[in-house]
Amino acid sequence: MATACVKSLESVQCGTCEKTIANGTEFYALLFDKHPDLRHYFKGNENLTGADVKKSDHFKKQGQRLLLACHVLAHLENDPASFKAYAREIVDRHLRMSVHLEPKLWSEFWPIWLDYLSTKESVDDATKNAWLALGKKFSDECLDLKMSYVYE
């Protein structure tokens, strides 16, 4: 499973060059254009279009954070303790930034991620299933009862 996820990331590298920065902003452009109902989570940016997002310095940085998180999760999938710790770090990061997501969004992110990934490469069933399984593992950790403080 981890191998399929890691392999699929070859087409969406993170980094500092124009192409890799575009990888991140293109994800958010897709999110803003196809899922306008999620814009309210981006305070001060709710009225941006996908085209606006691509030019935004904020989303250039945010896109890299998101890509890096997906890369890290894919590489940690076979290391359960580190995977869980990183999932919790992602939740904590959202909370530190006062981003309180609806619990369902921890799992609903992954089909959006696959939609984006399919704009970069052909996503076969094995890759799709691998990302959805990783996403379930990730969201299960985020929603663990021990983390109920997150949603208070």
Q: What is the mean pLDDT of residues 3-12?
A: 96
Q: What is the pLDDT of residue 148?
A: 52
The answer as to whether 54 is a domain residue is yes
Which tokens is 91 given?
Answer: 């939740």
Query: Could you tell me the pLDDT band of residue 145, with boundaries at 50, 70 and 90?
Result: very low
Q: What is the pLDDT of residue 95?
A: 84
The answer as to whether 152 is a domain residue is no
CA dist., res. 134 & res. 136, Å (int): 5
Q: What is the pLDDT of residue 2?
A: 75
The answer as to whether 151 is a domain residue is no
CA dist., res. 86 & res. 69, Å (int): 9
The answer as to whether 65 is a domain residue is yes
What pTM was computed for the model?
0.90
CA dist., res. 10 & res. 96, Å (int): 30
Q: Can you point out the beta strands (E) in 59-98?
A: none
The answer as to whether 47 is a domain residue is yes
Domain extent for 112: 4-146
Work out how many domains the chain is built from and give that number. 1
- pLDDT tens digits for range 23-45: 999 999 999 999 999 999 999 99
The answer as to whether 70 is a domain residue is yes
CATH of the domain at 102: 1.10.490.10
- pLDDT tens digits for range 91-122: 889 888 888 888 889 999 999 999 999 999 99
CA-to-CA dists, residue 41 to 47, 59, 98, 127, angstroms: 11, 13, 10, 28
94 annotated to a ligand binding site:
yes
The answer as to whether 114 is a domain residue is yes
Angle at 119 between CA 29 and CA 47, to 5 degrees: 10
The answer as to whether 9 is a domain residue is yes
- pLDDT tens digits for range 54-104: 999 999 999 999 999 999 999 999 999 999 999 999 988 988 888 888 888
What does pLDDT average to over the chain? Answer: 92
Whether 152 shows a pLDDT value over 70: the answer reads no
In angstroms, the first-to-last Cα distance of the chain is 34
